[in-house]
A = this chain, B = another copy of it.
Amino acid sequence: MSDNIQQLREYSTRLIRMGESVSLLFWDQQTYMPTGAANVRAEQIAVMSEFIHKQRTSDEAHKLLVNAEADAKSFDPDSDDARLVAQTRRHYDLMTKLPSEFVAELSRQQALGHEVWVQARKENSFAKFAPTLERIFDLTRQKAEYYGYKDHIYTALLDEYETGTTYTDVVNVFSEMKPYAVALAHAIAASTNPVDSSPIIGEFDIPTQRALTLQVVKQLGFDFNRGRQDEAAHPFCSNASRDDVRLTTRFDRTYLQQALYASLHEAGHGMYEQGSPERLEGTILAGGTSLGVHESQSRLWENLVGRSRSFSKWVFPIVKDHFPQLKNTDAEGFYRAVNKVEPSFIRVEADEVTYNLHILLRFEMECELLTGKLAFKDVPEAWNAKMTEYLGITPSTDSEGCLQDVHWSEGLIGYFPTYTLGNLISAQLFHALRREHPNIEADFETGNFAPVLSWLRENVHSHGAKFLPHEVVLKATGEPLNSKYYVDYLNTKFGDIYAL
């Protein structure tokens, strides 16, 4: 390693360690922090974040980067060091493209926006939120102009979350998927073989649920020596290095599926972080490469593994040990119950079939709002029309419609498609995995998840954030991202369950 690379790396490691401390402040805020500490916690996070941002855009940072770039010219462009320099340049450019007054104004509006959204949602009044939303979209449009783009304004926003993926990529994905998803949802609605979800509805003691989720997450391969699981209102996974990965889950006393599958989902994120290679630790190449690839890991474990028939054969006896009231059902009944498809208003509660239609709706509306095709006052009407068209149901209130998600109020625009990309990637990865391990599902029946984890470690986790999302997908599966495998997966699985 050249001295210049070494210096760049050391400078950046210090800031990464401080950033990890900020992650811990966030984690604590959502798990153990006393409520009275909310204001001072916001200050602590703001002070640290501002300091880190200043250091990452400082003259010193720039000088270290320029020196390292001079050295990197002679490196293999796929070497760790060349990628480290290139990624640092990308981050530096992104951060310095926005004038600092603009960053401050955006943060201010996001913080205010969140509060207005909370209130508007409580009062079930989109009208209260509309002016704020318009201001946030104005600033977001301005942000995209600062970043710059070639094809479509949406690409500039998406690039922050899923680097290298364009507006056109997302349009193509949805135009391939949408007809199949809509057709499948309609076929299921008309099925004569409906799913009974009553076995997983009832009274499920929370400490017992906790024990169950811990046992299952451990068996998947999540390393509790380098991580833990706690409770939070909105489940998330946070990490302060590969050696300190924190899962959270949420318990519903009346609905067994909630905590179990939220735990599988977050464990998928967590195992990705734990699998980041040691040699990249403390650099910007450590950890997951994008939101989409991250979501592919969580969805793969939650759905491709966790909602498979063979997984049910393993997990059901364990579930029954914890909750003897399930004695009148069996593994197949459990499998069907956790796979019930039903159009619903709330995205985060949606099943695998309808989920991506919720995302499509948001993607289309974001594009229309950004390009001025849709007026802000008309958001509820447009939302409800799309819900009716795609899912056949119509929200009766703004809260169960266009006010349900936190994202827009916080300026997270261009973010939603990564959820669908994650679903697609999960199926494409699983297909590639099965090419190598044709009988992988037989392992699930005995609770042996090591082959899946090893394969993901080797083909996804071991890259850390060194490669861009589309590079990871290509390396792991041998072809570019496409929706074929996900559509096939849904058709096969739900065609069987619903006897279509």
Residues of A at under 8 Å CB distance from B?
14, 17-18, 20-22, 24-25, 28, 32-37, 39-41, 43-44, 47-48, 51, 223-228, 230, 240-241, 243-245, 282
Contacts and interface: CB of A to CB of B under 8 A. Distances in A.
A228 B33 CA distance: 8
A226 B47 contact: no
A228 B31 CA distance: 12
A34 B243 contact: yes
Nearest to A32: B228
Contacts of A40: 17, 20, 240-241, 243-244
B20 A21 contact: no
A25 B34 contact: no
B44 A225 contact: no
A20 B48 CA distance: 11
B240 A34 contact: no
A22 B37 CA distance: 16
A47 B20 CA distance: 11
Q: How many copies does the complex hold?
A: 2
Given A17-B43, A20-B40, A35 B244 contact: no
Report whether over half of chain A's contact residues are helix, strand or loop; otherwise say mixed.
helix
Contacts of A32: 32, 228, 230
Nearest to A43: B17
A225 B48 contact: no
Contacts of A47: 14, 17-18
Contacts of A18: 44, 47-48, 51
Contact of A39 (B225, B227, B243): B243
A341 B320 CA distance: 53
Contacts of A245: 34
Given A14-B47, A28-B28, A44-B240, A226 B21 contact: no
A33 B244 contact: yes
A151 to B, nearest CB: 41
A24 B228 CA distance: 17
A294 to B, nearest CB: 20
Contacts of A14: 47, 51
Contacts of A25: 21, 24
A228 B34 contact: yes
Nearest to A31: B32
Contacts of A34: 224-228, 243-245
